[in-house]
Amino acid sequence: MSRKPRREFLADVGRGMLVASLGSATAFDLGLSSPLQAGESDKRVTFGPLEALVSLVQETHPDKLQPLLIEKLKAGESLKTLVSAAALANVRAFAGQDYIGYHTFMALVPAYQMATELPTQKQALPVLKVLYRNSSRIQAQGAGTQDALHPVVAATSTASSSARNDDVGKRLRDAIHAVDWDAAENRFATLAEGPVGEAFHHLQYAVQDEVDVHRVVLSWRAWAMLDLTGQEHAHSLLRQSVRYCLNSESYLQEKNRPRSAIRELLPRLLDEHKLLANPPGNRRPDDAWVEELATVIFAGTREQAAEAVAAGMAEGFQLEAIGEAISLAANKLVLHDPGRLEQHSNAQKPPGCVHGDSVGVHASDAANAWRSISRVSNARNRIASLIVGAFHTAGQSDRVTREPYSYASLLEETRETDSKRLLILVEEAINANDQARACAVVQRFGNLQLPDRPLFDLLLKYAISQDGALHAEKYYRTASEEYASSRPAFRWRQMVALARVTASEFGYPAPGFTDACERLGVV
């Protein structure tokens, strides 16, 4: 299939519908994934030229798969192809419905991006790490030969050309609110037959409905994956978000849980501030304004944060500056985190740790995803994503301390000025799980305005070698991207937070990593 421009594609056929007599919810509860139409149960989603490699990844035990993949790399196969095959195998096996499964999917693009930061002989390591996790989960769940994703037929209706653009997204969202798997899957399959960008834009109406880190990051990472797999696989990749939202809505209904206030607040703010009537402003605020907005988002209620962001947009301030304030607020949650409480700890996440699903790491990954979606989406979603992003980040200050994590006294003690010596001190702090000292030394690094690449290389090493409780790859890339897009006054906060999380996660080596190093002949 020939490649089309970024915003156009013909979707590969996705999946089908559950036997009508069971009903959608019943069939899903029985573990039959989603509704299959009569006659479709014996079919499967396939992936053209990638199918053989996808099947190999999906069906092979990780200990047998890793040497096979390394041999393919040595024979000239690209990391891009391996990541693409792993992503498609994950989607077919889990369809966005398995917790560890979709976490692993969300780590694939960050792992590939991390590979580009490494010397040639080590580039496969972050990818092989996540592929080992991917294969392990597929086999553990018995999904090597049992698919969760099945073919679906697009709706026959062609009504849309005369409908208002936002009505299309609302109809998809309405089907999700009704937990109508058939209608939602059919409607999205129809959208996927048009420009890929439009399908993604309309999907955001549902993604914006709840504050859920997995909901937004899965949507963003599925979109980002298209640069690797090609747009012909957009339907399969983006369907994960449709199904995730359906499953979430089903849970809310079954448990009689309240819906997020953002459902009513977002349209009200868009209307009250007339944010869709004019293009976003280009007013560049000073550092103090960004800091103040970040503090409102960090310390305020979710409604206050959303209101403040909408007001800033109405006053004509740049969306990038508003996004930076959201990112800074999430970063504050990392730097104010008291550490995991003993009653919430486990073998991989001990008391005092801040890696894995901590409040700050989750908030930072979510803020990064909301900002990223805002940058690539249409006019409405550029604005709406940031309002929801502020709402999502706020309202969590009761989970952290009022004062930032204390490392000031250690910073005063750190007198080194030599870059190499400071790097040694950072590594010693990481190996000792000394979060405070790691923060202090990295802050010293920033205060001296030393070159940042050697420090990134050090932190990258541990993001690859350590397990990170499903978050090492995503958070490394989140901190790196936010550092790169931050003003000089704020960017080192991202590096300090990354150092803290790195020191927290040390001591839990990634499964398969040592074997990969030995087979590749690298240290």
* Segment 94-120 mean pLDDT: 98
pLDDT over threshold 50, residue 106: yes
| Mean pLDDT of all residues in 319-330 | 98
Token pair of 83 as six digits = 């990541």
Choice between 159 and 397, residue whose per-residue pLDDT is larger: 397
- Read off the pLDDT of each residue in 435-461 and give the average, rounded to a whole number: 97
Interval 62-71: pLDDT, tens: 999 999 999 9
Whether the predicted pLDDT of 39 surpasses 60: no
The pLDDT, as a whole number, for residue 166 is 72
Torsion angle of the four alpha carbons 194, 195, 196, 197, in this order, in degrees rounded to the nearest 10: -130
pLDDT at 156: 65
pLDDT tens digits along 460-516: 999 999 999 999 999 999 999 999 999 999 999 999 999 999 999 999 999 999 999
3-class secondary structure per residue, 393-422: HCCCHHHCCCCCCCCHHHHHHCCCCCHHHH
Distance in angstroms (rounded) separating the CA atoms of residues 61 and 64: 5
Give the torsion through C-alpha atoms of 67, 521, 516, 50, to 10 deg.
Answer: -50
- Residue 14: pLDDT above 90? no
Tell whether the model's pLDDT for residue 31 goes beyond 70.
no
Confidence (pLDDT) at 157: 54
Phi, psi torsion values for 39, nearest 5 degrees: 90, -5
pLDDT at 125: 98
Between 4 and 240, the more confident residue is 240
Q: What is the secondary structure of 285-308 as a DSSP string?
A: P-HHHHHHHHHHHHHS-HHHHHHH
Q: For residue 108, what pLDDT band results from cuts at 50, 70 and 90?
A: very high
First to last CA, the chain: 40
pLDDT score, position 516: 97
Percent of the chain scored above 70 by pLDDT? 90
Range of lowest pLDDT (41-50, 167-176, 374-383, 441-450): 41-50
Helix pair angle (234-254, 99-115), 10° resolution? 140
- Residue 511 exposed, middle or buried by CB count within 10 Å (0-12, 13-18, 19+): middle
| Residue pair 493/331 in contact by the 8 Å Cβ criterion | yes
% residues pLDDT > 90 (the chain): 89
pLDDT given at position 155: 79
Average pLDDT of the chain?
Answer: 91
Do 57 and 22 touch, CB atoms closer than 8 A? no
Helices and strands (H and E) in the chain: how many: 24, 0
Q: Provide mean pLDDT across the span 403-411.
A: 93
Average pLDDT over residues 225-241: 97
Can you tell me the distance from the alpha carbon of 301 to that of 397, in angstroms, rounded to the nearest whole number? 9
- Is the pLDDT reported for residue 3 higher than 80? no
* Choice among 38-47, 118-127, 143-152 with the minimum mean pLDDT: 38-47
The pLDDT, as a whole number, for residue 43 is 84
> Would you place residue 195 in the very low, low, confident or very high pLDDT band (cuts 50, 70, 90)?
very high
Residue 9 has pLDDT above 50, yes or no: no
Cα dihedral 207/212/216/217 (nearest 10): -160
